[in-house]
Structure 1
Amino acid sequence: MRDKATVAIVDDDGSVRETTKDLLDSAGLSAATFASAESFLQSKETCAIQCLIADMRMPGMTGLELHGRLAAAGTPIPTVLITAYPDERERVRALEAGVICFLAKPFTADDLLACVVSALHGPDLA
């Protein structure tokens, strides 16, 4: 039996974490939630994570900084960034850094799930 893909949700907004987790659970994915990038990095679950959904703006480390830190450490995780403050320059910077998707809140369930599928299986299977 194949294990479910595990997706990490890193967002300082508890309601976003929980609704996103519910969406992923209903799609048959396993989700772990974290209130900050720092708590994610300190967790023992990071090696099991196959996709990361991170808020662009959080106190402390941003989602893009988290993505960069993982890549610099040689443990990149396909990343979807979400933001309530969409900015075209940040979007371009994030995509150039290798982020899979950059979604503005509120995003649709279908858009987020398409990004997660792309992150897990590559863009050709999304």
Structure 2
Amino acid sequence: MADRALIAVVDDDESVRESLPDLLREFGFAARTFASAEEFLASGYAGEARCLILDVALPGMSGRDLQHELRRRQQTVPIIFITAHGDEALRPRMLEQGAVECLFKPFNDTALLGAIQAALQDK
């Protein structure tokens, strides 16, 4: 189990935090979930996570704020943004700012797995 890549999920939506870990485990990854950016930062898992699945719109510190804070701390973890807001202009901006992918909810399993595989290749 120790050799399975840890994927961290930060989303304020409880249904996402409950369903994504099961899917990630089916893909062969270890998973940890967090309800907020602040909870993730306080957990100490930022240095262990091989990939971060991060909601754009979070209460308090947003997903983009967390991305900037991780950079400030020089903690490089590939980020896959997820969002329920279907603004097509958002995706190119997120990619320009260093995200591996930006998926619109609901996304399919294949798209998520492809994004994770790309993230793990980048790291």
Q: Do both proteins adopt the same fold according to a TM-score greater than 0.5, normalized to the shorter chain?
A: yes
Shift of 1:16: 0.6
Q: How does 1:1-126 map to 2 (within 5 A)?
A: 3-122=3-122
Shift of 1:27: 0.8
2: distance between equivalents of 1:69 and 1:83? 19
Aligned length: 123
> What are the superposed Cα offsets for residues 70-116 of structure 1, whole Å, 9 maximum, x if unpaired?
11221121000000002233222211110000000000011001101
1: distance between equivalents of 2:52 and 2:62? 13
- Contact kept? 1:85, 1:104, Cα under 8 Å: yes
**Structure 1 length-normalised TM:** 0.91
Deviates more, 1:90-99 or 1:1-10: 1-10
- The CA RMSD measured in Å over matched residues stands at 1.6
Runs of 4+ in 1 over 4 A off after TM superposition: none
What SS does the corresponding residue of 2:76 show, helix, strand or coil?
coil
> What are the superposed Cα offsets for residues 4-32 of structure 1, whole Å, 9 maximum, x if unpaired?
10000000011111111110011110000
- Contact kept? 1:67, 1:77, Cα under 8 Å: no
1: distance between equivalents of 2:64 and 2:111? 19
What residue ranges of structure 1 are gaps of 5+ in the alignment? none
- Contact kept? 2:9, 2:53, Cα under 8 Å: yes
What residue ranges of structure 2 are gaps of 5+ in the alignment? none
